[in-house]
Amino acid sequence: MAESFKIMFVCTGNTCRSPMAEGALRKLFENDRVDGIEVSSCGTGAAASFPATDYAIEACRIWNADISRHLSQPLVKELIEKADLILTMSPAHCHRVITLDPGAAGKTFLLKNYPETGCNGEGIDDPIGGSLDIYNRTFLEIGEELGRILPHLVEAARRKGEAG
Question: Catalytic residue among 16, 17, 94, 119, which?
Answer: 17
Q: Is 101 a catalytic residue?
A: no
Question: Catalytic residue among 11, 16, 42, 94, which?
Answer: 11
CB 80 within 8 Å of CB 98: no
pTM over 0.75: yes
Q: Is 125 a catalytic residue?
A: yes
Q: How many CA atoms lie within 13 A of 94 on its CB side?
A: 25
Burial class (CB in 10 A: 0-12, 13-18, 19+), 12: buried
| Calpha distance 49→52 (Å, rounded) | 10
Question: Catalytic residue among 61, 84, 125, 137, which?
Answer: 125
- What's the mean pLDDT in 2-30? 95
| pLDDT 10s digits, 97-144 | 999 999 999 999 999 999 998 999 999 999 999 999 999 999 999 999
Task: Give, in order, the Cα–Cα distances in Å from 26 to each of 22, 78, 146, 150.
Answer: 6, 22, 10, 11
Mean of the per-residue pLDDT values of the chain = 95
Domains of the chain: 5-159 (3.40.50.2300)
